[in-house]
Amino acid sequence: MEDIKPLLLGGGRVLKGAGCIRKIGKEASRFAKRVLCVAGDTSWALVKDNLKYSFDAANIEMVRYRFTGYCTEKTTDEIASVVKREHTALVIGIGGGKGLDAAKLGAMKAHTRVLTVPTSAATCAAYAPLSVLYDEKGAAMGPVFLRDEMAGVIIDTEIISRSPVRYLKAGIADAMAKEGEMYFSLSHMTEAEKMNLPSLGLHLAQMNNCKYLSTHPDDPEAVSDLIYTNIVMTGLVSCYAMGSKQLAVAHAFYDAFTHCYRTQRDTFLHGEIIACAIGVQLRVNGYDQKEIEKIADFFISLDLPVTLADLNIPLDRESIDLLISKIWEIAGIEDPLIRKRISDGVFTVRGQVD
């Protein structure tokens, strides 16, 4: 029998607009009368008053789990345990990527649904049906694919617009990695595997990148659309790529970076590290130098890192060889030609050496 896998398209229902957080009670009431909210202190302060008002209006009881740190096995086990102990029938993740990932995975472990409320547009975590797991020291361990899509996604553009524009810019870089990664995936698929969803994912990623290159996050009229593209349209690309090699070189670079450079890892946002990694991915893909420079110039206009020097890591040969070998390991790259392209790409984006 053919191995048939379900297609999960992120959010069962997506609400987007200024003030739509006030509809959360009605959305949550479709699933539960008692909910667990997973949120860090900063995110909680942004939403708690609106949550209380909306939940009271919908006669929903609320319990909070205070999220800190990373999406780890320990944290997600704790969330699942609280769900069972408090008899909550819905988990609501509120915050940035790591907190949302923890809420999603904790809900899956507890066999309950999850609704997400992003407070920034730095990643597509609110929509993508996967969680990136970290160890207790903050090194990325790779993705865990979820059994179900989100019960809903509430994108309150008023709340997200309060976050520093740095987060929006980082989300653009994270989103723009998808085209190069999908291209890499398709180049390693059979003709039959290329049909339908992966090809559609590449076309969608290309469309998103065209939008980014013709828009600027400093334009107030563009912000709402960019928020939606960072979260939903980019999340859709991830959905179409599920089970492929889409988490290829650029995100393997990020994972390797979190293992090799802990101090720098905590200084930069996920998308900022990815911005540098895209230069490596495109070189591995064999993109034209003019196209690579066009994207690098765009990132520079957004004050995003494009070299290892920009990321403040040691630039000696031993340090960079360690990074390269970790990328090979995480991406599962055995092909000598691709390994060489990765090595050459990393050294090309090294930057100024004193």
Domain ranges of the chain: 14-160, 165-348
Report residue 126 as tokens.
């609110």
What are the pLDDT digits (tens) for 12-24?
799 999 999 999 9
What are the pLDDT digits (tens) for 197-236?
778 888 999 999 999 999 888 888 899 999 999 999 999 9
Tell which residue, 86, 209, 100, 98, has the closest CA to residue 153: 100
Tell which residue, 72, 54, 297, 303, has the closest CA to residue 170: 303
| Per-residue pLDDT at 90 exceeds 50 | yes
The residues facing 95 across adjacent strands are: 118
Q: Is the dihedral of CA 287, 177, 307, 341 positive or negative?
A: negative
Strands 152-156 and 61-66: unpaired
> How far is residue 185 from each of residues 56, 171, 278, 343, measured CA to CA in Å?
47, 21, 15, 19
- Rounded to whole angstroms, the Cα distance separating 334 from 340 reads 10
Q: Which helix (H) or strand (E) holds 249?
A: helix 249-260
pLDDT higher at 125 or 216: 125
User: Whole-number mean pLDDT of the chain?
Assistant: 92
| Per-residue pLDDT at 237 exceeds 70 | yes
Percent of the chain having pLDDT more than 90? 81
Class of residue 267 by CB neighbours under 10 A (exposed 0-12, middle 13-18, buried 19+): exposed
Report residue 139 as tokens.
């090194």
- What is the model's pLDDT at position 196? 67
Report residue 323 as tokens.
């990074």
- Rounded to whole angstroms, the Cα distance separating 37 from 224 reads 25
3-state secondary structure of 116: strand
Q: Which helix (H) or strand (E) holds 182?
A: helix 165-187
Residues 105/131, Cβ–Cβ less than 8 Å? yes
* Site of tokens 């990695």: 177
What are the pLDDT digits (tens) for 278-323?
999 999 999 999 999 999 999 999 999 999 999 999 999 999 999 9
Within 8 A by CB and 6+ apart from 151, the residues are 12, 13, 30, 31, 90, 113, 114, 115
For domain 165-348, give the fold: Dehydroquinate synthase-like, alpha domain (1.20.1090)
| Per-residue pLDDT at 246 exceeds 70 | no
What are the pLDDT digits (tens) for 136-183?
999 999 999 999 999 999 999 999 999 999 999 999 999 999 999 988
Strands (E), the chain: 14-17, 34-39, 61-66, 90-95, 113-118, 130-134, 140-145, 152-156
Determine how many CB atoms are found less than 10 A away from the CB of residue 187: 14
Tell which residue, 7, 93, 113, 78, has the closest CA to residue 43: 93
Report residue 160 as tokens.
């997200």
- What is the model's pLDDT at position 245? 45
Residues in the chain: 354
What is the assigned CATH class of domain 14-160? Answer: alpha beta
Q: What is the CA radius of gyration of the chain?
A: 20
